[in-house]
């Protein structure tokens, strides 16, 4: 699985290039069909529990603004281990955003700090930067739609 950039109508778009059983769900996700993508990923995991390491459902829930469910899915995915570095990067960022949204600031900081260390960037995220990181992360997570 690799990441590719494409320009459509002047807007920069990021898409995952995938082969194998994740392809149908990934294509749906890349075309902003998040509900269908989530359902496709869930069918895949039910049919083959061995694919649970991919678990991109949480990223779909995030895009659908189902933040509580996204938080649970993303936490579960990280615990199980995400097999793709690209998916791990996105999932980690979204998890940190959600932890901030639910006022779990220290956990959000730990997730980002640990991820930076895993990527060989230990020390990049300093404790003194947590306030500005909080403001940045908070700005990226719009409020949940009225129910």
Structure tokens at 144: 């949940």
Assess contact for 95 and 82: CB atoms under 8 A.
Answer: no
CB 57 within 8 A of CB 38: yes
Per-residue pLDDT of the chain (147 residues; tens, 9 = 90+): 444 444 333 333 344 444 577 788 889 999 999 999 999 988 888 887 766 555 688 999 999 999 999 999 999 888 887 777 888 888 899 999 999 999 999 999 999 888 888 887 766 665 545 555 555 555 455 555 554
Q: What angle do CA 129, 132, 134 make, to 5 degrees?
A: 105
What structural domains and CATH numbers belong to the chain?
2-139 (1.25.40.10)
- Can you give the pTM of this predicted structure? 0.69
């Amino acid at each position: 699985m690799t990441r590719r950039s494409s320009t459509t109508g002047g807007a920069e778009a990021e898409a995952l290039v995938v082969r194998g059983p994740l392809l149908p769900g990934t294509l749906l996700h890349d075309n902003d069909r998040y509900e269908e993508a989530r359902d496709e990923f869930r069918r895949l995991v039910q049919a083959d529990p061995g694919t649970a390491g991919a678990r991109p459902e949480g990223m779909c829930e995030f895009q659908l603004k189902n933040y509580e469910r996204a938080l649970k899915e993303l936490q579960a995915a990280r615990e199980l281990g995400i097999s793709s570095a690209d998916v791990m990067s996105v999932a980690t960022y979204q998890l940190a955003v959600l932890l901030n949204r639910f006022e779990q600031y220290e956990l959000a900081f730990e997730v980002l700090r640990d991820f930076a260390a895993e990527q060989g960037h230990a020390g990049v995220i300093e404790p003194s930067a947590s306030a500005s990181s909080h403001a940045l992360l908070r700005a990226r997570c719009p409020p949940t739609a009225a129910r």
